[in-house]
Chains A and B, each alone.
Chain A
């Protein structure tokens, strides 16, 4: 990879200042960014590590019962520390990549990158999470804007992600075995005001909500409610791992499995 300046600030304010330089890029766990830089698909002039900012690391539950996760918290820590407060989220985190990747990769990095096959976008959209940055709070419904596209401005940092905890939830991932990303992943969450269904891996638009399934499951939270639906439409990804039709079918199957597993 091309060389760059490296800096590791200890506060959010210093990180924001460092990211104000030309050609600066934030570094989370680096599990996507560093391989991308090795391929010379990215060549920032400065990397600003977000891994030494104490207030961006950790899992807690706030006064209104939301699970709050610092943007630089690794998947392994979420898997351990959210297990009691939001088991479906912890289970999702515990199956990202492999153990060594989970010890480095961060939730903020994953959401900022918004890979169309990543797991965390499904959890954030499926939970109606709030993406908190150094500038503002962004609702998940407004945050994801297409493949690798988000509402983040240049230099804006995800400092925390807040998840309202559902009554029931489950994530089902059909693994692409070489990359361990989701060929299709579906996050289902049942809240007092309705059910949310978020799908990753399937659409070339990135993570999306499956409105028909949400309506059906809000009326009747059972696997049979999903079985009566037509497979979702939209710009499904078609590649050597699966056709668009196959992915659309998988969305329905994985949604049914998630509902059944949520109980």
Chain B
């Protein structure tokens, strides 16, 4: 076992991990931050996306021990300080960007990473950025719409397909 120390959602945390402990397992099982979902566990589906030092990564395909000292943000860190939903989260609710909700944590984290590097993406750019996030319910249209709306763009012309 080795001890790792990270900043998670602004708080210093530490814990003992095995070499094989994945970041997703550390977050869910040690820190009880179960908002980060493990869908496929093969880095295909993107339900486990979190931010590490500002970059979106798949937490099921990174070792906790390899991220000692990192700053991590999970879906639990996305709400506003007063507990209200952030702009992206609210847009997902307003535009019905989720059904079962299993993929949503990863979708929101990928959306936040996209809008940080590209504040006004086109629909094509949003779809390309979500290549590694799979949703089996929505058909993606409302997720794309929610992200475009969160970027401050007018989505009234986009049909609710």
A6, B19: Cβ atoms under 8 Å? yes
Closest-by-CB residue of B relative to A1 is B20
Q: How far is the CB of B148 from chain A (nearest CB, A)?
A: 17
Closest-by-CB residue of B relative to A51 is B66
Q: Report if A100-B63 is in contact (Cβ < 8 Å); known contacts: A3-B19, A47-B19.
A: no
B66, A103: Cβ atoms under 8 Å? no
Confirm or deny: B57 has a beta carbon within 8 angstroms of a beta carbon on chain A. yes
A35, B43: Cβ atoms under 8 Å? yes
Confirm or deny: A76 has a beta carbon within 8 angstroms of a beta carbon on chain B. yes
**Considering the chains assembled together, what is the distance between the CA atoms of A250 and B18 in angstroms?**
45
In the complex, identify which listed stretch (A26-34, A161-169, A204-212) lies at the interface while the others stay far away: A26-34
A100, B56: Cβ atoms under 8 Å? yes
Confirm or deny: A110 has a beta carbon within 8 angstroms of a beta carbon on chain B. no
Closest-by-CB residue of A relative to B40 is A35
Q: Specify which of B22, B41, B61, B65 is in contact with A31 (CB 8 Å cutoff).
A: B61
B18, A30: Cβ atoms under 8 Å? no
Confirm or deny: B94 has a beta carbon within 8 angstroms of a beta carbon on chain A. no
- Range for the number of chain A residues in contact with chain B: 20 to 34
Report whether over half of chain B's contact residues are helix, strand or loop; otherwise say mixed. Answer: mixed
Confirm or deny: B49 has a beta carbon within 8 angstroms of a beta carbon on chain A. yes
**Considering the chains assembled together, what is the distance between the CA atoms of A88 and B124 in angstroms?**
21
**Considering the chains assembled together, what is the distance between the CA atoms of A8 and B131 in angstroms?**
31
Confirm or deny: B36 has a beta carbon within 8 angstroms of a beta carbon on chain A. no
Q: How far is the CB of A80 from chain B (nearest CB, A)?
A: 9
**Considering the chains assembled together, what is the distance between the CA atoms of A103 and B113 in angstroms?**
11
Q: Specify which of B57, B65, B113, B133 is in contact with A8 (CB 8 Å cutoff).
A: B65
B66, A101: Cβ atoms under 8 Å? no
A4, B57: Cβ atoms under 8 Å? no
Residues 27-46 of B, flagged 1 when their CB comes within 8 A of A and 0 if not, give 00000000000000111101
Q: Report if A38-B19 is in contact (Cβ < 8 Å); known contacts: A100-B46, A100-B49, A100-B57.
A: no
A101, B19: Cβ atoms under 8 Å? no
Residues 175-196 of A, flagged 1 when their CB comes within 8 A of B and 0 if not, give 0001010000000000000000
B61, A30: Cβ atoms under 8 Å? yes
**Considering the chains assembled together, what is the distance between the CA atoms of A257 and B114 in angstroms?**
29
Confirm or deny: B58 has a beta carbon within 8 angstroms of a beta carbon on chain A. yes
Q: How far is the CB of A208 from chain B (nearest CB, A)?
A: 28
